[in-house]
Structure 1
Amino acid sequence: MIIENIIGITAGILTSISMLPQLLKVIKEKTVEDLSLPMIIILITGLSLWVWYGIIKNELPIIFSNAFAVIVNLFLLSYYLRFKDK
């Protein structure tokens, strides 16, 4: 039981922070030409569904890790919309 919690928490942390380097690159370079808008939208939708699933199952690690990832990707989407015409 403990090992599966460690695996779950580690997976949640890694997937939650996986888009941070991309977000930081976009902020630094102010360009989004290599990003795919459909990918961002699909990812936000999938992560949001994971949050909903975590709420249904009352699983805080699923809720928190995916909610954080949703926030990061919403920032990425906002920068995409801001920089897409540059």
Structure 2
Amino acid sequence: MSIDVATSIARILKQEGVEWVSTFPVCRVNNALGREGVPMIMMRDDRYAVALADAYSRVTGGERIGVCTVQGGVKVLVSGAGAGF
């Protein structure tokens, strides 16, 4: 049996007990997250998704935040990730 990377990521997030994922409409993992039942909060782009994850972490005192982006998203991710420090 073979599964795609997006499904693998979604299953790992679900197994790790992730409550929700901050994402954006063109993220390739979205369909897999939906199939696996992982709730999503849609943002406009990577920068806002990172800002939401950072804000949630700060408000809840949590340390279970991870960020992943590829290709052009790295350019806008930097400003959001920088604000997290």
Tell which has more relative contact order, 1 or 2 (C-alpha 8 A, sep 6+). Answer: 1
- Greater Rg by CA: 1
Q: TM-score, normalised by structure 2?
A: 0.31
What TM-score, normalized by structure 1, do the two folds share?
A: 0.31
Name the structure where strand makes up a greater proportion of residues: 2
- Larger helix share, 1 or 2: 1
